[in-house]
Amino acid sequence: MTEYQRFQQALDSIGALANPAEAHGVLIGMWIGGGPAEESRWLAELVEEDRPPQAPPTALSELYQRLVEQVTTADNLGLDLVLPDEETSLKTQVEGLIDFAQGVLYGYAIENGPARRALGDDAREVFDDLGDIAQLDPESVKTEDDAFDIHQIEEYLSSALLVMYLQLHPPIPETAGSQRLQ
């Protein structure tokens, strides 16, 4: 079983309406839009309102903790995005990328992140790119299309979203008298 399938099973077990790519996008968008988001709040966004809260499956808690580590570790160069793997069809991979982009935009919106016009040029460009990805037609993307390299897009989003988070929520520098919370 792939990691993506494991996350899908976990999402299904709580009645989530999202697939793993979209769910991960929502989580990242929430963090970018409003800073650290509670795991329970993220999971509540993924299920119907009338579903009672329940203990999160281990796989989803691990995914949440992985994001926390990636955005709080100084030597990290990007986020590990949860997307369909190379073993799936290009169409499935593109659909996952679309769902991920839509999830990031949704997560950012529900946290009332800064208006697009208030962002720096780089962050606005990332949002424009997410919007373009969210509107892709998976049927129009062909393997022989050199202009569309899904791995290059994944790498770009991995680093661009982390940089965007750090720009909107810069770490507090440690001073000689401060101690880092464990």
pLDDT in tens, 87-125: 998 899 999 999 999 999 999 999 999 998 899 999 999
Higher local confidence (pLDDT), 146 or 17: 17
Q: What is the mean pLDDT of the chain?
A: 88
Q: Bridge-partner residues for 47, per DSSP?
A: 16
Task: State residue 179's pLDDT score.
Answer: 47
Task: State residue 38's pLDDT score.
Answer: 94
Higher local confidence (pLDDT), 176 or 79: 79
> Contact at 8 Å (CB) between 76 and 162?
yes
Please name the amino acid found at residue 120: G
Length of the chain: 182
Q: Is the confidence at residue 182, as pLDDT, over 60?
A: no
| 3-168: CATH superfamily | YgfB uncharacterised protein family PF03695 (1.20.120.740)
Task: State residue 158's pLDDT score.
Answer: 95
Report domain extents, the chain. 3-168
> How do residues 29-65 score in pLDDT, each as one tens digit?
999 999 999 999 999 999 987 766 678 899 999 999 9
Task: State residue 180's pLDDT score.
Answer: 42
What is the spatial distance between Cα 168 and Cα 173, in angstroms, rounded to a whole number? 15
> Which residue has tokens 């991960």?
24
DSSP state of 117: G
Please name the amino acid found at residue 149: D
> How do residues 149-165 score in pLDDT, each as one tens digit?
888 999 999 999 999 99
Task: State residue 144's pLDDT score.
Answer: 58
Task: State residue 9's pLDDT score.
Answer: 96
* Sign of the alpha-carbon torsion through 103, 104, 109, 115: negative
Task: State residue 145's pLDDT score.
Answer: 55
Write down the pTM of the prediction.
0.90
What is the spatial distance between Cα 98 and Cα 21, in angstroms, rounded to a whole number? 9
CA neighbor of 153 nearest in space, from 92, 101, 105, 106: 101
> Contact at 8 Å (CB) between 133 and 97?
yes
What is the spatial distance between Cα 134 and Cα 179, in angstroms, rounded to a whole number? 42
Please name the amino acid found at residue 51: R
